[in-house]
Amino acid sequence: MLGKRLLTALVAIPAIILIIFYGGHLGFSIFIFCAVGVGLYEYLSFLYSERVNIQIITHVLLGLTLPAAFHFGFPGLIVPTLAFVLVFTMAFSLFRVTDPHKKAQNLFVRTFGILYIAFLLSFLIPMHTLPHGPWWVLLAVGINFGSDAGGYFAGRFLGKHKLYPVVSPKKTVEGSLGGIFGGFLVVLAFKYIHFDMFRYLDVIVLGMVGAVLAILGDMVESLIKRGFAVKDAGGILPGHGGIMDRIDSFVFSLPFIYYYALFISNL
């Protein structure tokens, strides 16, 4: 398993960096569009035993309108597109009702999935267009990586007190503090690598708040997977699971990082 994880990382990380910096905005948006589609498919597969059916296809297509709106008309197209997606998702829940109780539950699960994956992940698209946009995207990825790495090592060597065992049995208070410190270190490193306009207050706020949001995102996906009794969302990334398993903590921090980047860019 470790070998698979390393091999996947050795292939995926350089490819993603190339797309971020050299794929152009259209190429990057297409990449996010594909990631949203795969992530939504994995998520909706929790609900249905048939991996290809009209419910999954319809809701994946609905979700894909959001990254398209982020690319072609952010922010003006976002509200009408989101309204269309929510209305159509709710209306489509009336299709083939046999068990109203289960149908109502699935409606809320599907609606949440579209917001959680398609809406939040799509913030990477306008982030990429900001001044230093590719570097901001790389920083967002780095905060997530730093939080994961810091949490893993602090939890493994220092973890004693469980944080929230009913949701995430392995996560500890010490690991979470290590994750926050890891996010801080990543932003501090980026200050010296590229973002020399960062104040130390920016380093603290971006690193620590971004890492806290990443930890919350990780716990939310743990809750989802425990609720559906699944270990991995998919198998598209050997050794790492699915797209959802990689973006779980990532997506929660994206709106915050985007608007913080926008704030700094306007100073």
Average pLDDT estimate for 125-144: 96
Average pLDDT estimate for 159-181: 90
pLDDT interval class at 70 (50, 70, 90)? very high
pLDDT in tens, 2-14: 566 667 678 788 9
Q: Which range has the worst mean pLDDT, 65-79, 205-219, 229-243?
A: 229-243
Instruction: Determine the structural domain holding residue 88 and report its residue range.
Output: 2-265
Q: Is the pLDDT of residue 209 over 60?
A: yes
Burial level of 142, CB count in 10 A (0-12/13-18/19+)?
buried
Residue 59 contacts by C-beta under 8 Å, 6 or more apart in sequence? 40, 44, 89, 92, 110, 113, 114
Give, in degrees to the nearest 5, the angle at Cα 13 between 44 and 265.
90
Return the pLDDT at 237: 62
- Per the structure block, which two tokens stand in for 158? 């220092």
Q: Is the pLDDT of residue 215 over 80?
A: yes
One-character DSSP codes across 43-110: HHHTT-SSSS-HHHHHHHHHHHHHHHHHHHHTTTTHHHHHHHHHHHHHHHTTTT-S-HHHHHHHHHHH
Distance of alpha carbon 77 from alpha carbon 218, whole angstroms: 29
Per the CB < 8 A criterion, the answer to whether 147 and 180 are in contact is yes
pLDDT in tens, 9-39: 787 889 999 999 999 999 999 999 999 999 9
Name beta bridge partners: 179.
Answer: none
| Structural domains of the chain, count | 1
Return the pLDDT at 211: 94
For the chain, give the percent of residues with pLDDT over 90: 59
